[in-house]
Amino acid sequence: MKIKIYTDTIKQLKTAILASRYKAAVLANRELLVLYFNVGKLISEKSKTEKWGSKVLENISEDLQKELPGLRGFSATNLKNMRAFYDYWTPVFTISQSATDQLAKKSNKKLTSGKFVISQSPTDQFGATIDERFSEHFYRVSFTHHTTLITSVNSIEENVFYILRIANEFWSVETLKHHLQNKLYKKKGKLPNNFATAITNDDLRAKALMSFKDEYLLNYVNIEDPDEEDERVIENEIVRNIKKFLMSLGNEFAFISNQHRVMVGGEGYFTDLLFYNRKLQCLVAFDLKKGKFKPEHVGKMNFYLSALDEFVKLPHELPSIGIILCKEKNNKTVEFSFRDMKKAMGVSTYKLSNELPKQFKDALPDAKTLKKLMG
């Protein structure tokens, strides 16, 4: 009993220490963001009134290094980032300051402290997307994350979407870049599906819709000859790079297995990729198709989901969801294929690394032509 009390005490201390460290980190990050916002404001205003250019910022950076040897984060590039940070967010935020800070500001002694406050003017334009609670999420996001966003995202609404995900799901900068490249904001919740009829609970239906994307970028799957593309090759590459695929899916997914066997009537049937979604509390089956979506794919997926619900799903779990991942699809065909199907399903497409952007397709020979040229 004494050992248990001691163990529980250690756990309580650990929790308190970690919570305190996290709070301190958030507070430190808030002060840093406020500082950068104010520095950006100063540089932005001086750039307009005094016509400051890149050379002036380089001089400022060098002089700051002389005044404060070992100073980090104030390179000429970062000073430009601070200006961009201020210019981007100034329609949304102002910095409120205490009476002490305001007095210090009058004597030109202080640029820091205070907090971000939502401006009154943009509330009608941005609606419920930005409210007072958003500031707390904003503080949790590092300046590197913010810089990555403002150089990649034009829309305030899209930026807010990513900030909320970063703050709540603890994305690294690498994870953020992955989702930006994959255009998560535009593709999340857009896949054709039958969730409206297959999932009766409104809250669960909304969660399910936001858990999947219309298209997945498999840029780590490199097939030398597209004509030799095969479902098993794609599957093996996904499994070999399962961490990257999980990044595409989201942090609520857990990988169970590939070629997951279910016995029905004495025969084994295999699901290409099987996951569990903690938020939806259900199994999620992915069926890979190398070509265009066909109506018969739905019947096969419906069979898999029935088998999973009968023989694999645990009593406390919700009915399984299936995603058919194919090379291309026609949404109207998908819509008709889903009619009268009771199992929850969706159809997404994938894009491989060997697919060139449109502007380069005519500039380079395809794989067959290259083979002929090489003899």
In the chain, DSSP finds a helix count (H) and a strand count (E) of 18, 8
Q: What is the pTM of this model?
A: 0.70
Phi, psi for 187 (deg, rounded to 5): -105, -15
- Which of 286, 284, 324 lies closest to 191 in space, CA to CA? 324
Residue 1 has pLDDT above 90, yes or no: no
Pairwise CA distance, residues 59 & 226, whole Å: 52
Question: Using an 8 Å Cβ cutoff, are 231 and 289 in contact?
Answer: yes
Question: Using an 8 Å Cβ cutoff, are 258 and 274 in contact?
Answer: yes
Which structure tokens are listed for 295? 């109506």
pLDDT tens string 111-154: 555 666 765 433 333 333 566 678 888 989 999 999 999 999 98
Residue 104 has pLDDT above 80, yes or no: no
- Which of 287, 298, 280, 360 lies closest to 325 in space, CA to CA? 287
**Which domains occur in the chain, in start order?**
2-181 (no CATH), 187-360 (3.40.1350.10)
Which structure tokens are listed for 59? 């001089």
CA dihedral 249, 255, 259, 260 (to 10 degrees): -120
Neighbouring C-alpha atoms within 13 Å toward the C-beta of 290: 12
Pairwise CA distance, residues 179 & 181, whole Å: 5
Question: Using an 8 Å Cβ cutoff, are 242 and 169 in contact?
Answer: no
Q: What is the helix (H) or strand (E) element at residue 337, kind and residue range? A: helix 331-338
SS3 270: strand
% of residues, the chain, pLDDT over 90:
45
pLDDT-derived band at 84 (thresholds 50, 70, 90) equals very high
The neighbouring-strand residues paired with 254 are 276
Pairwise CA distance, residues 131 & 122, whole Å: 11
Residue type at 67 in one-letter notation: E
Pairwise CA distance, residues 308 & 310, whole Å: 5
> Is residue 193 left, alpha or beta, with left meaning phi > 0 and alpha meaning psi from -120 to 50?
beta
Q: What is the helix (H) or strand (E) element at residue 302, kind and residue range? A: helix 296-311
Phi, psi for 235 (deg, rounded to 5): -60, -45
Pairwise CA distance, residues 125 & 260, whole Å: 49
Mean confidence (pLDDT) of the chain:
83
pLDDT-derived band at 354 (thresholds 50, 70, 90) equals low
pLDDT-derived band at 102 (thresholds 50, 70, 90) equals very low
Average pLDDT over residues 5-29: 76
